[in-house]
Structure formats: C-alpha cells, structure tokens
Amino acid sequence: MLSKVRLNNRILEPIPGGGGAQVDVAEADLSAGWEPGPGWNAALAWAPNEECRIGATYRSLVVTKPSGDATFRQIPTGNAAFDAAVAAGLPPNQGVSTVLRFPAIWAVGAAWKPQAWTVEADLVWTEWSAFSDLPIKFEQTPQNDRTIVEDYDDALAIRVGAEHRLPSFTYRFGYYYDQAAAPAESVSPILPDAARNGVTLGVGFRPWSNVWIDVYNLSVFVQNRSTEGKNRDGYDGEYKTYVNAAGLNVGFRW
C-alpha cells in the first residue's frame, strides 16, 4: 500500500494584555510523500451445492512511515514586539516523519442463489484499534514532537444485499450498518466518525452480448455524533453528516 500525509495546523499564543485571549501567530504545514508498506491477503471459498456459496477473507495490518517537510509560516499580528518574540520562538523549516497504521480486516460472507436471485450477507470486522495514535517527529527540534492520540476501537459492519436477474436487465439493492470506531475524545473536524447506515440501489443491463453497463447509487445516513464535551483539543460539538455517491461502470468482454 502507498500512503502520504498532509497536516495543517495553526499555532496560537495569548495576546499580551488580552486577558488570556489567543490569536493565530503561525501556520504549520506538514507534508510527507508517498511511502510503501507491505501487507498480505488470504481468502477461502466453499460451494457446498449449486445454490450456496460461503467465503472468508483476511487483509493484514499495513504500516507505512511517510517522511517529508515541515514548513512554519508566521502570521503577523501587528504588534511588533509580540511578532518579534513569536519569530524567535518558531522552529525552523525541517524534515518530519510519522507512522500510519491501516487496520487488518476480517470478513465472512454467504450467498444463496435460488434461480434468478442471488441473496448475500456479510460480516466485516475491522481492527481499528491499530489506529492508536499519530506520532509526529521533527528532525531538528525533537522538543516539538507531538503525538495525536486516537485510541480507536475495533468495529463490526453488517451487510446484506440481493440481485434479481431478468431477461433484459438486472436490478440490485442492499443495506449495511457500520459501527463507529472513534471514541468521543477523538471525534473532531478531521475525523467526525459515527455509526452509519447505508442503502444501495443498482441496475445493470447489456446493450450487446459482450458489453454491460451498471449504474448505482449509495446513500449513507450517518448518525449525529456528539463529542460529549470530551474532545482532546477542545473541538466540542455535534456533527451531522450525510453522503450520497453515484457511479457508472462499463464493461467489455472478448
């Protein structure tokens, strides 16, 4: 797997004589290039009879260690003495690195194919607990190293779907439920994770014997998620999300 990282952050400092109020004094941009990480997959399939299919898959944990550059840009406040003090305390531009952990995934599914129908159900277990933190390490100023704590939990997804094949076209529909993996402390504008329900619809047809076209729509209804006043960085609030995705697939066989 190839992965890269880019993080932007504002640096805040108390305004002199401002009664504790803070102001943006600098912007940090951390950009790490593509980095490969090895992983492996395994799968089993079993067909006890013509109508039934059972399968299981495993995708291993993948760890990558992207490295790149950290750039610090001062934001003037208009207070010359204060800006000079901020400039003196800013770290120099330098190399930066981090560690990304992509979770292992276990899945098991079964399909039943009575005549022109296929009905399937899957269980997917994702080991999100591997995403425990995001360490940020600077080459020249290790005193500025930071670890963003995430402490995700493992999560279960349940998926069901059906396909009905007719002489001129095929239609499909499905549903899935995904558990939330992020604890309330980690819910933030970066990752406002929450439990979600997905509904899918699709149609496929063959205008010619060796060409097929499929269209689909996925609607994801994400449950409202509150930080419960626990967010580690003070971004407390309630998050509301809705996603709709549509797609088109064209296939050709020879």
Domain boundaries, the chain: 166-254
Q: For 135-155, what is the mean pLDDT?
A: 94
141 pLDDT tier (thresholds 50, 70, 90): very high
Residue 92 has pLDDT above 90, yes or no: yes
Residue 9 has pLDDT above 90, yes or no: no
Residue 75: CB partners within 8 Å, gap ≥ 6? 10, 24, 25, 26, 27
Q: For 148-161, what is the mean pLDDT?
A: 96
The predicted pLDDT at position 245 comes to 97
First to last CA, the chain: 31
188 pLDDT tier (thresholds 50, 70, 90): confident
The predicted pLDDT at position 67 comes to 94
- Residue pLDDT, tens place only, 14-68: 988 778 788 999 999 999 989 999 999 999 999 999 999 999 999 999 999 999 9
C-alpha 199/C-alpha 241 separation (Å) is 15
Task: Yes or no: say if 133 and 147 are a contact pair by the CB < 8 Å rule.
Answer: yes
Q: For 219-226, what is the mean pLDDT?
A: 96
In the structure encoding, which two tokens stand for residue 183, read together?
A: 């604890």
Task: Yes or no: say if 95 and 67 are a contact pair by the CB < 8 Å rule.
Answer: yes
Higher per-residue pLDDT: 235 or 224: 224
